[in-house]
Every structure is written in C-alpha cells, then in structure tokens.
Amino acid sequence: MTTQISTHFSQRLPSAIRQAQIVFSQRKDKDLIRVVNLAIGNVSLPMHPAMQKRMKNLGEANSEFADGIVKYTPSVGTDNARNALLNIIGSEGIDVSHLNCMITDGGSQAMEIMMLGVCGPSSKRPLMLLDPAYTNYIEFGKRLSIPIITSERKISNDGSFTPLDFNVINEVIKQNNPKALLVIPSDNPTGQFIKQSDLIALARICVKNDIWFVSDEAYRQLYYGDDTSSSIWKILEKDVPGIMGSRISIESASKVWNACGLRIGGLVTDNLKFHTKAVSEYTANLCANAIGQEIYGTLAHESHESLQSWYTSQRDYYRSIMLPLRDELQKQIPGLIVTNPEAAIYLIVDFRNICDNKFNGSDFVQYCAAEGKVELDGNNYTLLLAPMSGFYSDPAKGRTQMRLAMVEPKNLIEKTPKLLFELYNSYCER
C-alpha cells in the first residue's frame, strides 16, 4: 500500500521564482553551461559594511557566540535587531515612537504571519492585491486557504503601467469585502513606483471601508525617479483621519541590505493588539535566526546620514544597470515590451506583439532551463527567468511575460539581450 500525501501537496508546484533553477539542476550537461540566473531576487552584492564587519567578528572573544553556543532569542526578536529596523524606518524622517515591530525569519515569514493576523486560516474574507502581485502572497493564500482578490494593472506598449484606478479599487473592495489591501510601493514584480500621494488615496479607501492597509516595503529605498521614497509610515493622521492603528508593513534585510541568506525580516504595525497577538503566534516558530539578527542588529547603531548614503549608492548601482539593459533589450528584439524601471530591481518583458498565439512564457522558461544554450565568447550560456503567469491571480494573463531580476554581476547582466534574442529564436524554430 502506498501512503497518500495531502491534496495540497499533490497539487503543489515549485514557485515561479524557483522553477527554472530546479529544472536546470536536472540537466545532464549543466556543468558545461554557464548560467545567467535572473529568475529570483538573490542579490549578489556585498552587505552593508557594518554588517560585514559584525559577521567577521562573530567568533571573537567578546562576542556572545565566542563559546560556540547559539541560543534561542525572544520570539519578538533581539533588542538590537528590532532597534535596527526602527532606525532604518526612522532614517526616512518618520516618527517611530508609535510603531511595534517583530523580527521574523525573512520577509516571507512576516507575510504569512500578517495573512494569519488579518484574514486567518480558511478565511471567508479575502486579501486584496494589485495584479500582478508577488507570487508568495498568492502561494501563501493557497497554503492558508485564504482567498485572494485583485485589481488589475495592465502593461502598455510603451512599457508603462496603467495608472491605479481608485474608483475600480474601491468598487472591488465593496463587492468582495476583503479584510486588507496590500500594496508594494516599490513593486515586485512590476518595478512600478507607487507615489506617496497614491498611498494616501489608498489609505483613505481603506479607512472608508474599515480594512487593514498593508505595505510590503522590502524595496523602500530603491526608486529611480525624482520622488522621494513612499511609505505607509509617512501617512499622518491629519492626511487620513482614522488611519492610526490599521497599518502593517513587511520589512526585509534581503534587498536594500543585500542579505538574502540571513533570512531576516520584520513585521511592523501601529496596532498594539495586532503586534501582541502576532508575537503570540510566532512563539510556535520559537524565534528568528539568532546569528542573522546579530548581524542585522548592527544597523541600530548607524547614523541616519550614513544610512542615506548607503541608499544612494544602491540606487545608483541599479539605475546604472537597469536603464541601459532596457535600451539594449529593445534594440536587440524590436517590438519587445520592456517595463520602465521606476523602482525595485525588476523588469518585465512581454513578447505579445512579436510572438504567435502558440507562444507560452512558462514553456519558454522551461526550454531555456532544460535545453536552451547560446554560444557566446567561446562558452555556452543559458538564461533563467521567472514566468509571469505565477504572479497573476489568473495565470493566463501572464502568458507572454517574464520577470528579470537584476541580481547577477553586471558583466553577466549585460549578456542578457543577446542571450534572450538567441534563445527566443531557437525556441520558435523548434
């Protein structure tokens, strides 16, 4: 007799951001192929210098880890790690005295705890996202049996996204009665930047409909226009009467701080009851990574001026990569739609104007990972991408689209236009 797995497991496929990597790992010729992996936001830049220094000194005589003992931390997180998170938010000129924060194992764990707190498992009331949305929210919705509803954003032929339609968003809320609206101001996967004025407009809708306003701010300081960063914590009570006590943000050390593998995230709220119950829920997880908290916690002692300097350096780096890459992609593949890099570290490419009706982005990603290769500079390369079908509530909407993450070294990212052109042609000629 074969013991049966659950229906949930039997239907489970890898996340859209991991699919290509898993498929490539099974190639027989993988050792002969050089990979440009733009499928997942696994940043390849060094951490903030203070974090690097703390990591290197973990074994020194005055370190609490010097004797080789690594104990659990409080479930809420260490004082240093929590103060680091508040110091980072405070460096934006935000009053953090009313904020409550908890440290989690990565931003992903904060997402799941948030969804449990605002909707609850097997909820009859949904979480509302802006479509396309970060795939983990969609996948956690399946895990927790929380329905997801969306208000759609469309990519125009010039690579811009249609403006947020507040009337439509309000109507979707009225019709579906969600428990929360979630936005990503520096958006993953779209790279769209949601301005502070738009966040205020969304906050008014949330207050009007008595729902939580949740903001994933993992990329808060990565924006490339003339605006300053946008954040729900910059919204004042005088801007939106009634907003106090209904906000939650998801935080992460992964992106702005280039520390994906530390698995340090945070859940911040101006609602003390929500915070207290979130910590109670997290006691089942015991605590976040103790060593990761120690490394991240050093940012509690950095001045706001030094943090702002770091933000500028990160923005300058990504801007120098993303703008030329967009131009080269459009030159190499005429008719390809490439989104404008307004924020975060992602571009979306859309083949809808140049492909035939048989083209499928998920199949193309699979082809590149499983068998595609391009000879370039005397070596064979392939490209790993994330199919956008995994970022839409209706996968058919992302059929011709893929997300590119700016995470490889610059010299590899510069090969992307040529690789994408050659791989697309070989895929179509099969």
Question: Domain for residue 173, yes or no?
Answer: yes
Same domain, 386 and 258: no
Tell me the mean pLDDT in the region 161-170: 93
Same domain, 125 and 178: yes
Tokens for 155, please give them: 């990519």
Question: Domain for residue 59, yes or no?
Answer: no
Same domain, 333 and 257: no
Tokens for 196, please give them: 């502070």
- 266 vs 269: CA distance, rounded Å: 10
pLDDT > 80? residue 24: yes
The two counts, helices (H) then strands (E), for the chain are 14, 14
Q: Which of 366, 338, 358 is nearest to 350 (CA)?
A: 338
Place of tokens 């970060």: 134
Q: Looking at the DSSP assignment, which residues form a beta bridge with residue 215?
A: 183, 249
* Count of C-beta atoms within a 10 Å radius of residue 77: 27
Place of tokens 């199919």: 387
Same domain, 140 and 266: yes
Tell me the mean pLDDT in the region 181-210: 96
Question: Domain for residue 229, yes or no?
Answer: yes
DSSP state letters, 253-304: SSSTT--GGG-EEEEEES-HHHHHHHHHHHGGG--S-HHHHHHHGGGGGS-H
Give me the half-sphere count of Cα atoms (radius 13 Å) on the Cβ side of residue 289: 20
* Residue 60: per-residue pLDDT: 84
pLDDT > 90? residue 243: yes
Please write the tens of the pLDDT for every residue from 75-127.
999 999 999 999 999 999 999 999 999 999 999 999 999 999 999 988 889 99
216: part of which helix (H) or strand (E)?
A: strand 212-216
217: part of which helix (H) or strand (E)?
A: none
Please write the tens of the pLDDT for every residue from 63-79.
888 888 899 999 999 99
Same domain, 116 and 198: yes
Please write the tens of the pLDDT for every residue from 255-310.
999 999 999 999 999 999 999 999 999 999 999 999 999 999 999 999 999 999 99
Q: Output the CA torsion sign for 222, 227, 229, 231.
A: negative
* Residue 41: per-residue pLDDT: 87
Question: Domain for residue 340, yes or no?
Answer: yes
Question: Domain for residue 243, yes or no?
Answer: yes
Question: Domain for residue 321, yes or no?
Answer: yes
Query: Considering 260, 280, 303, which residue would you say is the last residue of a domain?
Result: 303
Dihedrals phi, psi of 281, to nearest 5 degrees = -60, -40
CATH of the domain at 41: 3.90.1150.10
Question: Domain for residue 419, yes or no?
Answer: yes
CATH of the domain at 96: 3.40.640.10
Q: What is the extent of the structural domain holding 239?
A: 69-303
pLDDT > 80? residue 2: no
Same domain, 291 and 378: no
pLDDT > 70? residue 357: yes
Same domain, 395 and 315: yes
Same domain, 279 and 342: no
Same domain, 282 and 410: no
Query: Considering 256, 286, 303, which residue would you say is the last residue of a domain?
Result: 303
291 to 31, 57, 100, 383, 394: CA distances (angstroms): 33, 12, 22, 34, 40
* Residue 382: per-residue pLDDT: 96
Question: Domain for residue 60, yes or no?
Answer: no
Tally of domains within the chain: 2
Tokens for 98, please give them: 């009313």
Q: Using 50, 70 and 90 to split pLDDT, how confident is the model at 227?
A: confident
Same domain, 320 and 296: no
Place of tokens 């439509």: 168
* Count of C-beta atoms within a 10 Å radius of residue 45: 15
Q: Are strands 127-131 and 148-152 parallel, antiparallel or unpaired?
A: parallel
pTM of the model: 0.92
Terminal Cα-to-Cα distance of the chain (whole angstroms): 42
Same domain, 176 and 148: yes
* Residue 1: per-residue pLDDT: 57
Percentage above 90 pLDDT, the chain: 82
Yes or no: say if 389 and 361 are a contact pair by the CB < 8 Å rule. Answer: yes
Dihedrals phi, psi of 36, to nearest 5 degrees = -105, 100
Exposed/middle/buried for residue 371 (C-beta within 10 Å: 0-12, 13-18, 19+)? middle
Same domain, 321 and 257: no
Query: Considering 265, 284, 303, which residue would you say is the last residue of a domain?
Result: 303
